[in-house]
Amino acid sequence: MRGTEFRELGHRVVDVLASHLGDPPDPVLPALSPSAACALFDPDFPEAGADDVEAVLLDAVQRVIGAATKLHHPGFIGHQVATPLPAAAICDFVDALLNNGMAIFEMGKAGTAIERAVLTWLAAQLGLPSSSSGVLTSGGSLGNLTALLAARQAKGFDPWQRGVRGQPLVVFVTDTAHYSVARAVHILGLGDEGCVAVDVDERLRLDVRALEAAVQKALKQKKKPIAVVASAGSTAAGAWDPLNGVADVCARHGLWFHVDGAHGAPLALLPERAEQVLGLARADSVVVDFHKMLLMPALVTAVLFRDAKAGAAAFAQQAGYLFDDDDDGWTDVGRRTVECTKKMLGFKVWACLQAYGVAFFRDHVRACCDKTLVLANLISAHDELELLVPPQTNILCFRLKGRSGGENAAVRKAIVDDGTVYCVQVHLHARGLPKERSGLWLRTTLLNPRTSESHLRAFVDDVVARARQL
């Protein structure tokens, strides 16, 4: 494709996307079954290229927009996926065309320097020391795995030469933590017994006293505790674990303290939340997703380590065709991440921080939390609805009071099928959670700048009205 053709096609695609942004049509969630979706994107590819490449590509764009969930629709209050800044999407476009892999500095000079700048800024926001470092990676699941690899290396044993064997290692986490934590523990080879569930309190936060008891029990069983994973905004309910209390237990027993702040850690940008986020600064590792509360297209996740050397040690191996022995510990990114040919993940973050300023993102995080409080008050004012817990972040769970899980699910399905709102549901069953608080809850995540108080009022009224029709 020549430069003029590329320019013309680019303009036309941007026009299509701009129309989509201007007024995303209903429904927010397309009514497509798996078979119907597959029919739109069949695998019957032609042997020869099309005569009109531009027309085929524009058709492909229109098809994918039509089948996509409309995240810019004000009724999108479902999953923890950002309504992305269009400017950030432009940066992804530039990244894709440049295609500079980042395993080594020689190949990804701009991306490596940008990544270091973004991580330095983020570490300062979380209160971590200036000596901390880390890596950007593709999602919180890979971020949690990266952090726990470092924990096993620092507190357990070196698996590179000896493999996974010896004294059983233990990681402590609540049942309400993101499923990627338990998955990471199993990938590390620690098995079911290596992932010990800790009770939660009445607000679904990790119970510090139960944690201390669990550590003592593991020691009596001749196991070796190595780490505790706390949530700064759990995926299930937005619960914020008592980070300082957890840090105290970790310090007392010499355990690695990991905070899964994939969703909630950006609250550190808010001065009024200083007390809530205080324990972040005591973590050995923290995961933060920019593609949730910070408006970035997926995926871009920061994994920060208090001790930069501990983070790099998890991947201490030789690859002579890539790495120089005299690398200073940060210039060759491939030394400290699972990924090799990694995208220039930090570019969109760095460029948007430069363009919009930190205050823009701070205001957005605050607005997300404020709107969640508005929704909580609307729900509390209805005799027919109940909150799971007061919101601790911008995630809120509620349900129809006195109704079964099936009835709550039916109301949600009716609303989603109607297409004006996309909310989700969560099944909660956790150690320490009373039986009457377990079961199915409706769940919202307020990340969308276009969702207003009037949309939230209409949503609550719709939930109640549909419940009355059951």
- pLDDT at residue 312, rounded to an integer: 74
List CB contacts of 236: < 8 A, sequence separation 6 or more: 176, 204, 397, 426, 428, 443
Kindly report, residue by residue over 366-423, the tens digit of the pLDDT.
999 999 999 999 999 999 999 999 999 999 999 999 999 999 999 999 999 998 899 9
Q: Are residues 64 and 114 in the same domain?
A: no
Rounded CA separation 143/258 (Å): 11
In a domain? residue 57: yes
- pLDDT at residue 395, rounded to an integer: 96
Neighbour order of strands in the sheet with 195-198: 133-137, 301-305, 285-289, 256-260, 224-231, 169-174, 195-198
Q: What is the CATH number of the domain that holds 208?
A: 3.40.640.10
- What value does the mean pLDDT take over residues 52-80? 93
Domain boundary among 356, 383, 401: 356
Q: What is the mean pLDDT of the chain?
A: 90
Kindly report, residue by residue over 415-465, the tens digit of the pLDDT.
999 988 999 999 988 787 888 888 999 999 999 999 999 999 999 999 999
- pLDDT at residue 313, rounded to an integer: 73
Q: Are residues 101 and 45 in the same domain?
A: no
Evaluate if residue 25 carries a pLDDT over 80.
no
Domain boundary among 70, 88, 121: 70
Counting the structural domains of the chain, the total is 2
In a domain? residue 276: yes
Kindly report, residue by residue over 192-220, the tens digit of the pLDDT.
999 999 999 988 999 999 999 999 999 99
In a domain? residue 142: yes
Kindly report, residue by residue over 82-133, the tens digit of the pLDDT.
999 999 999 999 999 999 988 888 888 899 999 999 999 999 999 999 889 8
Q: Residue 236: left if φ>0, alpha if ψ -120 to 50, beta else—which one? A: alpha
Q: Are residues 194 and 115 in the same domain?
A: yes
- pLDDT at residue 321, rounded to an integer: 33
Range of the domain at 282: 97-356
In a domain? residue 273: yes
Kindly report, residue by residue over 142-190, the tens digit of the pLDDT.
899 999 999 998 898 777 667 777 779 999 999 888 889 889 989 888 8
User: At 323, is the pLDDT very low, low, confident or very high (cuts 50, 70, 90)?
Assistant: very low
Q: Are residues 101 and 161 in the same domain?
A: yes
In a domain? residue 101: yes
Rounded CA separation 412/433 (Å): 24
Evaluate if residue 324 carries a pLDDT over 80.
no
Domain boundary among 323, 356, 389: 356
Q: Are residues 131 and 274 in the same domain?
A: yes
List CB contacts of 396: < 8 A, sequence separation 6 or more: 238, 372, 375, 376, 379, 387, 388, 443, 444, 445, 446
- pLDDT at residue 101, rounded to an integer: 86
Task: Please state the pTM of the whole predicted model.
Answer: 0.92
User: At 328, is the pLDDT very low, low, confident or very high (cuts 50, 70, 90)?
Assistant: low
In a domain? residue 441: no
User: At 225, is the pLDDT very low, low, confident or very high (cuts 50, 70, 90)?
Assistant: very high
For residue 60, CA distances in Å to 40, 41, 45, 53 come to 10, 9, 13, 11
Q: Are residues 340 and 243 in the same domain?
A: yes
Q: Are residues 157 and 253 in the same domain?
A: yes
Q: Are residues 115 and 259 in the same domain?
A: yes
Evaluate if residue 316 carries a pLDDT over 90.
no
List CB contacts of 356: < 8 A, sequence separation 6 or more: 85, 87
In a domain? residue 457: no
Q: Are residues 102 and 161 in the same domain?
A: yes
In a domain? residue 143: yes
Q: Are residues 144 and 240 in the same domain?
A: yes
- What value does the mean pLDDT take over residues 349-363? 98
Q: Are residues 29 and 147 in the same domain?
A: no
Q: Are residues 300 and 342 in the same domain?
A: yes
Per-residue burial over 334-346, b = 16 or more CB atoms within 10 Å of its CB, e = otherwise: bbbbebeebbbbb
